[in-house]
Amino acid sequence: MAPLFLSVARNDHDEILLCFNTIGIEFNGKDATMRQRRLFMIKRLLWVLTLTAMAMMANAQGDFLRRPSPFAGRTMLTLSLFDEVRTELKTSADVNSKVDGLVEKLQAELQEAFQGANGDFEGVQAAVDKVNTKYDGEVAKVLTDDQNSRLKQLFVQFNGASAITNAAIAKDLAITDDQKTKIKAAQDDNNKKMRESFGGGGGDDPQVLFAKLQAELKAALDKVLTDDQRTKFKAMEGAKFEFKKG
C-alpha cells in the first residue's frame, strides 16, 4: 500500500485545507469518485489534527510557523514574520534577523514541549501556550514601543475575537480570572464539538464544518467580554490593514 501523507494549509477564506496524498493519487476534490473517500479519511483523522500539527511543528524546522501554515500569525512572533507586516512596522534588516533567530529558539522549545507532554493533549496545549507567551515577550523586546503597539493592532485584526486568548491582549483588556475560566470553557467545548463532528464518515464537508466551528468559537469568545471591553477591543484594531492572502 502506498504511504499516506498529510499536508495542512489555509486558503483565501482562512479555512483549513487538508490534502491526503498517496503515490500517484491526489485527493483534491476534483474527481467526484474520490470525494467520498477523501471526506471519510479526513473525518476519521481530523480529530487528531491538533496533535498531528504539533508533531509537525516539532520537526518542521520552523516552516510550520510560517505561511501557508494555519498556525502562521496566531502569535505575535509568527505574525511579525509576514513580509507585509515587516513593511508596515518598518523593521530593519537587523531586527528582522533577530526575529528570525527567535523563531529557531521557539522551534526548539516547542519540540521539547511536545516531547515532554508524551502525547497528552491538555499537557501539550498548556506547554505550547507557555512557550508562545514567552517568545511573544521576546519579540516585544526587539521592537520599539511604536512597533509593538502597531503589531498588537495587526494581531487583533488578523485573529479577531480569538486574539483575547493572547496573554498581552488579555492583559490590556483587563480580562478577569472568571473570564479566563469562561474562555477556556469555550475553547474546550469547541474542541469537543470538533472531535465529535469529525469522528466518523459522512455528513458535511469538513472544510465548511471547520469554518463553522471556528466562527462559533469566535462568537463565544466575544460574549465573554463586557460592553466596555468590547468597545476597547474594537479600538485596539487601529488603522485598517490589508493582509496578503496565502
Residue 144's Cβ-side half-sphere holds a number of Cα atoms within 13 Å equal to: 7
**Residue 41 · residue 28 · CB < 8 Å:** no
pLDDT at 58: 47
Distance CA 38, CA 212 (A): 20
C-beta neighbour count of 77 within 10 angstroms = 23
Mean pLDDT by 10 residues, the chain (246 residues): 38 40 38 53 46 50 71 91 97 97 90 73 78 94 97 95 92 95 91 72 66 87 95 96 87
**Residue 186 · residue 221 · CB < 8 Å:** yes
What's the sign of the alpha-carbon dihedral 73, 75, 80, 85? Answer: positive
pLDDT at 210: 72
**Residue 179 · residue 226 · CB < 8 Å:** no
Q: Which amino acid is at 195?
A: R
Residue 90, helix vs strand vs coil = coil
Instruction: Locate 54 and state its grid cell.
Output: 504539533
pLDDT at 119: 59
pLDDT at 142: 96
Domain positions in the chain: 5-235
What's the sign of the alpha-carbon dihedral 192, 194, 198, 202? Answer: positive
Residue 211, helix vs strand vs coil = helix
